[in-house]
């Protein structure tokens, strides 16, 4: 008796289907992991962007009010925890003395750090910085502005040769601490 000849395979075997599903599953898991990393990078970029805008705002306000440079430096550190919601300080709406204006600026920066106000005039707040701190140091005719916040991932800790805003603060591990530092010349009156 002769067996009928098979001309070709008429479908996929169970083993082939299982291998295809395994490859598809591994690929989907990789995509899910990439999505999580992308979200984390987006969050970190938004925090760094806010810190940059805040540091620029600090330097611009200090350039506009050079008579209070020493007072600005005495406010360090400016922390989000001290922020109070509400309308802008009266000094923002009318003329005032340099130190009063500096105090109003610091109150604004506290609200920005806490996410209660936008960096510059606008309809919505920027979201704030996680455990945000702002440090101002006078360096001769210049000024150093450092904005520190808590990052979402561990990072390499710097060598500690410069003063570090927020280093050793409660709840801010040094390896989670992020900082942005800008140095500028401020003309004195």
- pLDDT tens digits, one per residue of 35-54: 988 988 888 888 899 999 99
Q: What is the mean pLDDT of residues 6-19?
A: 77
Query: Is residue 155 in some structural domain?
Result: yes
Give residue 56's pLDDT: 94
6 falls within a domain: no
pLDDT at 72 > cutoff 70: yes
Q: Domain for residue 137, yes or no?
A: yes
Is residue 60, in this structure, part of any structural domain at all? yes
Domain count of the chain? 1
The reply to whether 10 falls in a domain is: no
Alpha-carbon span 174 to 158, nearest angstrom: 9
Q: Would you say residue 110 lies in a domain? A: yes
What whole-number percentage of the chain has pLDDT above 70? 75
Specify the pLDDT at position 162: 61
List, for residues 121-134, the tens digit of each pLDDT value: 665 666 788 888 89
| Model pLDDT, residue 103 | 87
Residues spanned by the domain of 23: 15-118+127-185
Whether residue 160 lies inside any domain: the answer is yes
The answer to whether residue 180 is domain-embedded is yes
């Amino acid at each position: 008796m002769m067996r009928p000849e098979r001309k070709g395979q008429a479908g996929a075997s169970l083993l082939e289907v299982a291998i295809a599903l395994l490859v598809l599953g591994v690929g989907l898991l990789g995509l899910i992991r990439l999505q999580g990393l992308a979200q984390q990078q987006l969050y970190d970029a938004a925090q760094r962007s806010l810190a940059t805008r805040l540091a620029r705002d600090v330097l611009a306000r200090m350039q506009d009010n050079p008579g209070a440079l020493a007072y600005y430096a005495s406010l360090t550190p400016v922390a989000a925890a001290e922020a109070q919601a509400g309308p802008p300080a009266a000094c923002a709406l009318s003329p005032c003395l340099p130190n009063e204006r500096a105090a109003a600026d610091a109150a604004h920066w506290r609200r920005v750090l806490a996410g209660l106000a936008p960096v510059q005039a606008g309809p919505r707040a920027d979201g704030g910085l996680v455990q945000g701190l702002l440090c101002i140091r006078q360096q001769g005719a210049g000024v150093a502005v450092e904005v520190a916040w808590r990052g979402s991932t561990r990072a390499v800790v710097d060598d500690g040769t410069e003063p570090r805003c927020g280093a050793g603060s409660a709840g801010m591990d040094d390896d989670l601490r992020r900082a942005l530092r800008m140095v500028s010349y401020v003309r004195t009156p």
